[in-house]
Amino acid sequence: MVRLLRYGTIFGPLKDRWRYLYKTDLYKRRIEAGPEPERFRSALINWNYDAELHACTHRFGEKINIESLRHALTDSSFLNQIVKQRTEAGLAANDQTTLSFTHNEELAKRGEQIAEDFLRRALQYWYPKFPQEGIDTITKFLLSEPTIADISSGLGFKTLIRCDVPSPHSTMLKKAFLAFIGAIDENNDRHRAELFVADFILTHLVGKDINEIWHIKNPMGLLTKVLEENGRQAPESRLIWATGVSSVLSTYVVGIYSNKEYLGKSAGATISIAEEMAARDALRRLFETDEQRAPIPFDKLYKKGLLIDK
């Protein structure tokens, strides 16, 4: 593992004055030239777009028509570029019949609709007591631009998208990914498209706490409201333990009860913090989203009873 040869000996001894000067000059020139410009992957010699698309369909095990996939991966910026090039060349730019393809905007909308619908349904199914507002927030987080762009680039859409910049922006990545879902729906059935969403978008929740994604501003107020709706008494907070009260590292443990029935407890540096955290804990227990809750069975949602159609 240790480098056995000296740096100088690989390319010839640097003890020669002229060689030393030559190498130093080359080094300086390379620094001056700066970084290499970004290039399209398709500019390299080892590139066959049809083969890439064919491999892309096999990668996810989806049976998609190649033309349909090509359509799904064509961004509007690419189309605009083509039109611009045609006008510059003196061709009829507005004549859409000369362009044999369109961009993926509509397919992306279709895919987004499917994804949103499915995610909302799956979350409601697995967390039935979680409020609608929270489910909306989590769906919004899962379909947000950074999340989808991260998934899209992780699945290799970065090089496959046809657009006017070498490294596609996150909007382009998002559109292409959602259009791919739309293309699955178009070629196969809705079931396959929803399975794709479950496999690649819903799994983004692994290792994340959904209570942290939906940040509740006033947990005590929400707890009162929820208890009122269920016909229970208003919450009462009680101090259970306290240590180091006069020190810097003071700890209070506050429990929350409703009609002497235990709801949840938490520790905090001050009583107000501990009370707020205890309210959050009580809410977690009421919504059944606490740590003891089983994780979403990503591959078995249908088997466990989630229906395809309502």
Binding site for another protein (CB under 8 A): 1-4, 27, 30-31, 34-36, 45-46, 48, 51-52, 54-56, 58-61, 151, 153-156, 158-159, 195, 198-200, 202-204, 206-207, 240-241, 243, 253, 267, 291, 298-299
Q: State which residue, 43 or 206, has the beta carbon closest to another protein.
A: 206
What DSSP character marks residue 277? Answer: H
301 alpha carbon, distance to own chain's centre: 20
For 271, the 3-state DSSP assignment is: helix
What's the closest the beta carbon of residue 138 comes to another protein, in angstroms? 16
What's the closest the beta carbon of residue 42 comes to another protein, in angstroms? 12
- Which amino acid would we find at residue 230? N
What's the closest the beta carbon of residue 156 comes to another protein, in angstroms? 4
Give the dihedral of Cα atoms 285, 291, 292, 296; nearest 10 deg: 100
What's the closest the beta carbon of residue 5 comes to another protein, in angstroms? 9
Of 202, 204, 209, 205, nearest to 291 (Cα)?
209
What's the closest the beta carbon of residue 130 comes to another protein, in angstroms? 20
Q: State which residue, 152 or 222, has the beta carbon closest to another protein.
A: 152
Taking residue 13's Cβ as centre, other Cβ atoms within 10 Å add up to 10
DSSP 140-180: HHHTSHHHHHHHHHHTTHHHH-B-SSSS--HHHHHHHHHHH
Q: State which residue, 119 or 198, has the beta carbon closest to another protein.
A: 198
Q: State which residue, 222 or 274, has the beta carbon closest to another protein.
A: 274
Q: State which residue, 202 or 222, has the beta carbon closest to another protein.
A: 202
